[in-house]
Chain A
Amino acid sequence: AQSVTQPDIHITVSEGASLELRCNYSYGATPYLFWYVQSPGQGLQLLLKYFSGDTLVQGIKGFEAEFKRSQSSFNLRKPSVHWSDAAEYFCAVGARGNKLVFGAGTILRVKS
């Protein structure tokens, strides 16, 4: 069965510092991978997605993620974090029946 692990429950970075959020997945075939962001009390917004092709994908708000098949990872990165990036981030993998399996989420705090 598909599963997603986000090993970091909380991460705190200083404004302007770089960011990397980790995501590991378990899936038997070529995965469809996603990162979503959720601000407090809001719905989830799609940041980026990987289906095939170039393993480095660009998303909205300056985020990017790299698919590494050998490590079963899809880590999210941003070179310079802004205070407005503080939110919860979810990694997800596509499953049968057009369903998604989500990780438990990582809460990002940004220090000024």
Chain B
Amino acid sequence: SQTIHQWPATLVQPVGSPLSLECTVEGTSNPNLYWYRQAAGRGLQLLFYSVGIGQISSEVPQNLSASRPQDRQFILSSKKLLLSDSGFYLCAWSFATRMKVEQYFGPGTRLTVT
């Protein structure tokens, strides 16, 4: 069966510091991968998605970037955090086939920028 991991679970970082959040998937090959952000009291905002190694699509312009250095690894980064980057970050995966579009979510990372 497939599992998805995210770390760290929580993170407190000062404004201007760098960020690296990691997501890995086990038990499947060539998954689609997604990064979402949930700000307090708001829904899910899709930040990035990837259909393969090195292939990243950005959904909204922002202070963040994503990379996919390996098939089942997805990294969310920032060079300098802003207060507005605080939120709950969720990684998700789906099968790459059109008929299996449901996404499976990781446990999330709570980021607080101070």
Chain A residues with a Cβ under 8 A of chain B: 32, 34, 36, 41-46, 49, 51, 90, 94, 97-100, 102-105
Contacts and interface: CB of A to CB of B under 8 A. Distances in A.
Contacts of A94: 101
Given A44-B105, A90-B43, A97-B49, 13 more contacts: A32-B101, A36-B105, A41-B110, A43-B106, A44-B92, A94-B101, A98-B49, A98-B51, A98-B94, A99-B49, A100-B101, A102-B44, A104-B42
Query: Main secondary structure on chain B at its contact with chain A?
Result: strand
A105 B110 CA distance: 19
A44 B90 contact: yes
Contacts, number: 49
Nearest to A107: B41
B33 to A, nearest CB: 11
B12 interface: no
B103 interface: yes
Contacts of A46: 102-104
Contacts of B108: 41-43
B87 interface: no
23 contacts: A41-B108, A41-B110, A42-B107, A42-B108, A43-B90, A43-B105, A43-B108, A44-B44, A46-B104, A49-B102, A51-B99, A94-B101, A97-B51, A97-B57, A98-B49, A98-B94, A98-B101, A99-B46, A99-B49, A100-B46, A102-B43, A104-B42, A104-B43
Interface of B: 32, 34, 42-44, 46, 49, 51, 57, 88, 90, 92, 94, 96, 98-99, 101-108, 110
Q: Name which of A36, A44, A102 has the most chain B CB atoms within 10 A of its CB.
A: A44
Nearest to B43: A104
